[in-house]
Amino acid sequence: MTAGRVLLWRHGRTAHNVQARLQGQSDIPLDEVGHWQAHTAAAAIAARYRPTRIVVSDLIRARVTADALASMVDLVPVVDTRVRERSFGDWEGMTATEIAEQWPADHAAWAQGGEPNRPGGESRAAVAARMVEGVMAHADDLGDDDTLLVVSHGAAIGLGVAGLLGLPPAWRGIVGVSNAHWAELRLGRGNLGPTWRLTGYNLGPTDASADWDAGPDREVRDPD
């Protein structure tokens, strides 16, 4: 048995997102807009999908995002460290400009598609492998009519989607999902492969706000 649908949902906005700082596995909380994004997106997901199980990264920004949905669908999120964000070692907390100033050669190599040559940094292949392992471990415990929702992070979701589609870790054919947006995959049929098919990417509430990162249009409507 395998879940018929998998959703990979990115956490709401943080201060590091606003400042374009590399977040990685640093445990950064949601900011005020991030809380609003999480609740607004959660309402859309609850109405559209009614997930069967919620799996969440252990980082606080993901757990708070997951809790926004869990309270609406009466589920208890399952924490799984395999779906946490990619580690960038001692680059975490820095902007691209700051990294380039301190490590110009390493940054230039990274900008050209190389791996972050930093202590504690994870390769794309390692992240893709653990994401696929984590998602499949939970999906395989569900049935065809079930929806597995995984609350994760930008880099991890991009690599997880590629891995589930059978694409190599070096493939960069999709951009990152926006805060509190999600990817949707459906179980493939027959023997044509791959096992999963991407049916939607960077999905989110269409009626949330004229500017998602500005928060609610309070003079017009409040999506909460």
pLDDT value, residue 224: 46
pLDDT value, residue 12: 97
- Vertex 130: Cα angle to 188 and 152 (nearest 5): 80
Please state at what angle helix 32-48 crosses helix 60-73, rounded to 10 degrees.
40
The single residue of 35, 85, 107, 153 carrying the catalytic annotation is 85
Give the whole-angstrom CA distance, residue 165 versus residue 85: 19
Per-residue model confidence as pLDDT tens for the chain (224 residues): 689 999 999 999 999 999 999 999 999 999 999 999 999 999 999 999 999 999 999 999 999 999 999 999 999 999 999 999 999 999 999 999 999 999 999 999 888 888 877 888 999 999 999 999 999 999 999 999 999 999 999 999 999 999 999 999 999 898 889 999 999 999 987 676 678 999 999 999 875 556 888 888 655 444 44
Give the whole-angstrom CA distance, residue 121 versus residue 116: 6
Q: Is 85 a catalytic residue?
A: yes
Sign of CA dihedral 191, 195, 200, 202: negative
* Listed residue (59, 7, 65) closest to 34, CA to CA: 65
How many residues in total does the chain contain? Answer: 224
